[in-house]
Homo-oligomer: A and B are copies of this chain.
């Protein structure tokens, strides 16, 4: 792939498909979230699982040392090597990963882990004792039945986990919640309630630990929807959110990011037509867009993405109606009365993705758009574990 910068998006040296990142929108999305959380008096611990890029992290983090959230130990290693010091690995720890966690900590990063079972707490405490390193762990608390975590009403388990950690040689750093069911919502009232419920469950769980004489310095909540719709975060010390930086059609469907603020898109080239069917065939199939069809369950099904011109303006009713591995089939929404734009072979378009985390993972770099619509930089990103 040609890596020269300064090209406009029609320049053939820019090979397609590729992932574009609008730096201005990224910066605006970060500033908006930071201002919102500043008003609520809560620190932002950006989740770097969407971007997986040090260049993006430098924009998303208020301080280059963190705090930050990651979803894999590969991310933890990469961001620690890049200077991030305060890292939370927000996926339940597998005991076999503890040697890697301890190695990252020995390198100077304050990496914390998450757990919700006694088996994990015992393994963490044992590893901490053996290493002579009071490995910090947060207890995952289940905000809404979405996934993992101890019920905030299960005081016995919360206290047992806390004691196992604090008395076993590890450090009890606090509680962590993720209101993942908020992704299924789209009414502001319900989203505000989900954010409030996440906050309330966190405060309740922290209270149980503190009443038992255990430390709970951190009460960590977050998801992009609950971050966006939180009205009261009293008792919460930090908010984790990641996809808000880029936005995507799914988050636009939820209402947590406006479609016009979406900062990532996939640049595609027209490679053919089936004119009788109204199909424009491009070189951006699901390999470039991801298999994510999250908007299929929303009010507006965006297919595999919304087709835009090179300036980023959506064509009326034009979506990626279907996708094969390296072919995208761009067509008008069913029932649309709009005219199919004239996009001959070789013409280019930009596709707004359903899910920035999934689309990003299909790529190993960002082509960064400056305010003049030209590629001003190429930023690498990582994948894998």
Contacts and interface: CB of A to CB of B under 8 A. Distances in A.
A383 B358 contact: no
Contacts of A93: 271
Interface string A121-151: 0010000000000000000101001011000
Contacts of A232: none
Interface string A191-208: 000000000000000000
A346 interface: yes
Interface in A258-296: 269-274, 277, 281, 283, 286-288, 290-293
Contacts of A94: 16, 269-271, 283, 345-346
| Max chain B C-beta neighbours (<10 A), residue from A327, A362, A385 | A385
Contact of A91 (B72, B91, B148, B326): B326
Interface string A70-83: 01111000000000
A164 B77 CA distance: 54
A326 B100 contact: no
Given A1-B384, A91-B326, 19 more contacts: A13-B96, A15-B385, A49-B325, A91-B283, A91-B327, A92-B271, A92-B327, A94-B283, A96-B269, A116-B272, A119-B345, A120-B271, A120-B345, A148-B274, A286-B292, A287-B361, A290-B291, A291-B291, A291-B358
Contacts of A39: none
B385 A17 contact: yes
A355 B49 CA distance: 23
B344 A119 contact: yes
A180 interface: yes
A273 B148 CA distance: 7
Nearest to A94: B269
